Structure 1
Amino acid sequence: MSDVRGVPATVTVVIPTRGRPRHVVSAVRSALDQTRPPHEVVVVVDGPDPSTEQALAGLDPRVVVVPLLSSGGAAAARNAGVARATGDLIAFLDDDDLWLPAKLQRQWAVLAAATDPWNTVVSTAAFWDTGDGATVWPTRSPRPGEPIAEYLFVRDHAGEGLLATPTILLPRTLAAAHPMDPTMRIHEDLDWFLRLEAAGASFVVLPQPLVRVDASSGRQSLSSQSTWSESLAWSVEHRARLGPRAFSGFVLTEAGRAAVRSDAPLGTRTAILRCAMGGRPRPRDVARYLALNAAPSRLRSWVHARRLGSTS
Structure 2
Amino acid sequence: MKPLISVIIPTYNRPGALCELLECLYRQTYKHLEIIIINDNGENIDFVSSLYSELNILIIDLKENVKHVVARNEGIRRSSGDYILLCDDDDLLVPKHVETMLEQIAGVDLVYSDAEIVEYETVGKTRIPVNRLLFAYDSDREAMRSFSTFVASGSLYRKAIHDQIGLFDEEVYHYWDWDFYLRVSENYPVKRVPIAGTLYSFATSGGDNLSGSLSDMEPFLKLLSDKHDLGPLPTKNFFLLLEEPGVRNRQAVSKVVWDGEPTISRWANIS
Normalised by the size of structure 1, how large is the TM-score? 0.65
Cross-structure match for 1:54: 47
Equivalent residues in 2 for 1:1-312, closer than 5 Å: 1-2=1-2, 9-50=3-44, 52-57=45-50, 59-60=52-53, 61-112=55-106, 114=107, 117=108, 120-131=109-120, 132-138=130-136, 140-143=137-140, 146-147=141-142, 150-151=143-144, 153=146, 162-175=149-162, 177=164, 178-198=166-186, 200-216=187-203, 217-221=205-209, 223=210, 225-228=212-215, 230-231=217-218, 234-235=221-222, 238-239=225-226, 241-243=228-230, 247-248=231-232, 250-251=233-234, 255=235, 257-258=236-237
Q: Structure 2: which amino acid aligns with 1:142?
A: S
**Structure-2 separation of matches of 1:80 and 1:229:** 24
Call closer, same or farther: CA 1:219–1:207 in 2, change over 3 Å: farther
Structure 2: which amino acid aligns with 1:153? S
Alpha-carbon spacing, 1:152–1:238, altered in 2? closer, same or farther (3 Å): closer
Deviation per CA, 1:260-309, whole angstroms, max 9, x where unpaired? x9xxxxxxxxxxxxxxxxxxxxx967xxxxxxxxxxxxxxxxxxxxxxxx
Question: For structure 1, which runs of at least 5 residues remain unmatched after alignment?
Answer: 3-8, 155-160, 262-282, 286-310
Change in Cα spacing, 1:130 to 1:224, as seen in structure 2 (3 Å) is closer
- Structure 1: how far apart are the matches of 2:75 and 2:43? 17
State the distance in 2 between where 1:228 and 1:25 align: 32
Size of the alignment, in residue pairs? Answer: 231
Letter in 2 for 1:81: G
Distance 1:75 1:224, change over 3 A: farther
Counterparts in 2 of 1:142 and 1:21: CA distance versus 1, 3 Å: same
Instruction: State the AA in 1 paired with 2:9.
Output: I
* Contact 2:113/2:197 (<8 A) preserved: yes
1:18 Cα deviation (Å)? 0.9
**Greater strand content:** 2
- Which sits farther off after the overlay, 83-92 or 39-48? 39-48
Q: State the alpha-carbon separation in 2 of the partners of residues 23 and 180 from structure 1.
A: 24
Structure 1 counterpart of 2:104, one-letter code: V
Greater fraction helix: 1
Q: For residue 83 of structure 1, give the secondary structure of its aligned residue in structure 2.
A: helix
Structure 2: 5+ residue stretches without partners: 121-129, 247-259, 261-271
Structure 2 Cα separation of the partners of residues 32 and 10 of structure 1 = 15
Distance 2:41 2:73 in 1: 14
Give distance in 1, aligned partners of 2:19 and 2:39: 12
SS at match of 2:208: coil
Q: CA RMSD in A?
A: 2.9
Given that residues 186 and 231 in structure 1 are in contact (C-alpha distance below 8 angstroms), is that contact kept between their aligned partners in structure 2? no
Please give the per-residue CA displacement for 1:27-64, whole angstroms capped at 9, x wherever unaligned: 112123211124211111011422x2234445225111
Give the Cα–Cα distance (whole angstroms) in 1 for the partners of residues 160 and 188 of structure 2: 12
Shift of 1:201: 2.1
- Mark the CA change 1:133 to 1:233 in structure 2 (over 3 Å): closer, same or farther: closer
Q: Report the Cα offset of residue 152 of structure 1.
A: 5.8
- The 2-side partners of 1:44 and 1:33 are apart by 21
> Mean Cα displacement is larger for which, 82-91 or 129-138?
129-138
- Stretches (4+) displaced over 4 A: 223-226
CA deviation profile, 1:148-169 (whole Å, cap 9, x unmatched):
xx23636xxxxxx611221211
Q: In structure 2, the residue corresponding to 1:130 is in which secondary structure?
A: strand
Sequence identity of aligned pairs in percent?
17
C-alpha deviation, 1:226, in angstroms: 4.5
